[in-house]
Structure 1
Amino acid sequence: MKPIIVRGGGDIATGTIYQLSRAGYPVLILETEKPSAIRRQVSFCEAVYEGTAVVEGLEAVRADTLKEALGTVSPQKPVVLVDPKGDSIRAVRPDAVVDAILAKRNLGTRRDMAGLTIGLGPGFTAGLDVDYVIETMRGHNLGRIITDGTAMADTGIPGAIMGYGKERVLHAPQKGRLYGRTKIGAQVKKGELIAVIQSADGQMTPVPASLDGIVRGLIRDGYPVSKGFKIADIDPRAGERENCFTISDKARCIGGSVLQLICAAEKGQLKR
């Protein structure tokens, strides 16, 4: 069985990869050389740095070549390959390609790359550059399969939890390298130091917590960031620490819609 190719290995992509793998499909994950996942504990892209990444008992491994990847990948072991441009797609000729980069724009996925192409979120047009688009905006239409047109435009404001929206996400106050002063899963108070940004001249700029809550995501130590770059995510719900280490409801919903399309295509129930 040819592997399904998923472009991107962040937390939303990982929800899709997990569901496909558990349903019996081998998955090849194409990533950048330096992924910037915030929710690192539930992102298979961490295998780029660590060699392996385990999410809810499923282990993904990094391969250094396409040959190694194809010799390793199985439904029980998704494989991560550094290939930001998707050059491997031409060689593999997969039955399905899922663009889960969530860049809010199309970074090169084309409808002719596979028998079935799926784009997650805004930046794609169903029936034009991909066959189907999956809605990624939280709300009534989350996970909806779009057969004609586009997903909702990105607002730049995360979905509200306990009345907190934009406050939940922290951005770099300046350019430099980030160094954490706490860990994912830690309980923090508003104003408490969670990270620092070291500029090129060695100056340290503090990054305080924006609200009371649990650090659900924090970019890895030493990562180079630009001013305004998303660096952390705080969950205001008390007692929800386990959520930092499990796939989110949003990622599961989107993954279920992708799996639905893959299964339908396999049975010849989709029309292009």
Structure 2
Amino acid sequence: MSDRHSCVLILGIGETASAIARELFLADHIVALHQAAPPPDLRRKMTFSDAWFDGSSVLEGVEARRADLVAEFMLGLRSRMFVPVLTHPLQQILERWPWEVVVDAEMAPRREPFGVRNLAGLTIGVSPGSVAGESCDLVVDAHGKDPGAIRRPGEGPGPAAEPEPGESEPARAPVSGIFSMIKDIGNVVEAGEAFGMIDGTPALAPYAGRIRGIIKHGRAVAAGTPLADIAASTAAQVAGMTPRNRLIARGVAFAIEMQAEGWTPFSWDALNEGGSGFTS
């Protein structure tokens, strides 16, 4: 294990980004999350996204705090007591601190092509469509049979996302207005039961199950906005990190560690061609 700790900026605050931030924070890296717009995440107990709204959030024993002021930002980075959540424009954040690693872990589809390559000495893509050598230096697979696998330039994009077993379409807003919660994350609902209200109009569960995620109370929503993620199984995980996101986070941590040690990431292609897959 290297004693060299990197300054890492993670783009996004969803499940994958939060898992990566937690993993790197516990490995004593200097870590911050960047989320400029209100996060749309429903599975809020599996992320740090509530810090964006409430100022603070805890994921499996690690705290994240919204840091709008320079003093809060610097306190988080220097003390390593919490993970700062930064909301200013990305360019300002890049200029404010000498980031050594930038990780693109924004899993929601973007309207325009986006890349992080050249934003730091090492850039890692986890987001959909990331291609090593084009949009970033290295890719860590987020999907497929081997989440957390590292891809080098020339190895192409990683596997596309596939629906999770038992995953259904989210319950959506029937009208526009201000959403009020009746049920919370972890509660069980019956088909047709109201889990919230939008200005007096009930938001009904389309099927029975356990609420795995729900939009923040008091948020303005447009008709059709996803409101709740309801899992068919009442034993579904509703808090903490999923096994897949743990593997992704470890893959990112391993890629940073190898960079610090001067190793080239492992490649099955290199191994099949007769090499070890590692060079120094």
> Which deviations, in whole Å up to 9, do the C-alpha atoms of 1:47-68 show, x marking residues without a partner?
1221211111111122123453
- CA distance in 1 between counterparts of 2:93 and 2:249 reads 23
- Is 2:64 aligned against 1:60? yes
Matches within 5 A, 1:146-165: 146-147=151-152, 148-153=155-160, 158-161=163-166, 165=167
- CA distance in 2 between counterparts of 1:2 and 1:146 reads 20
Letter in 2 for 1:166: S
Cα shift at 1:46: 1.5
Cα shift at 1:153: 4.2
- CA distance in 2 between counterparts of 1:12 and 1:267 reads 25
Partner of 1:13: 17
- CA distance in 2 between counterparts of 1:119 and 1:35 reads 19
**What residue ranges of structure 2 are gaps of 5+ in the alignment?**
266-280
- CA distance in 1 between counterparts of 2:37 and 2:109 reads 20
After the TM superposition, which of the residue ranges 220-229 and 125-134 deviates more from structure 2? 220-229
Partner of 1:178: 179
> Which deviations, in whole Å up to 9, do the C-alpha atoms of 1:85-107 show, x marking residues without a partner?
34211332311011112122367
Residue from 88, 94, 109 that aligns with 1:83: 88
Cα shift at 1:114: 0.7
- CA distance in 1 between counterparts of 2:261 and 2:122 reads 13
Residue from 131, 134, 155 that aligns with 1:128: 134
Answer whether contact 1:132 1:146 (CA < 8 A) is retained.
Answer: yes
Cα shift at 1:224: 2.4
Partner of 2:40: 36
Answer whether contact 1:104 1:123 (CA < 8 A) is retained.
Answer: no
- CA distance in 2 between counterparts of 1:149 and 1:171 reads 35
**What residue ranges of structure 1 are gaps of 5+ in the alignment?**
199-203
Letter in 1 for 2:8: I
For normalisation by structure 2, the TM-score amounts to 0.82
Cα shift at 1:84: 4.5
Residues 1:134 and 1:232: Cα distance change in structure 2 (over 3 Å): farther
Q: CA RMSD in A?
A: 2.3
SS at match of 2:238: helix
- CA distance in 1 between counterparts of 2:133 and 2:16 reads 23
For normalisation by structure 1, the TM-score amounts to 0.84
**Same amino acid, percent of matched pairs:** 30
Answer whether contact 1:9 1:43 (CA < 8 A) is retained.
Answer: yes
Residue from 192, 211, 222 that aligns with 2:207: 211
Partner of 2:226: 230
- CA distance in 1 between counterparts of 2:56 and 2:247 reads 25
Aligned residues: 257
Residue from 50, 53, 71 that aligns with 2:54: 50
- CA distance in 2 between counterparts of 1:84 and 1:179 reads 30
Letter in 2 for 1:269: W
Partner of 1:201: none
Partner of 2:191: 190
- CA distance in 1 between counterparts of 2:204 and 2:66 reads 34
Partner of 1:268: 262
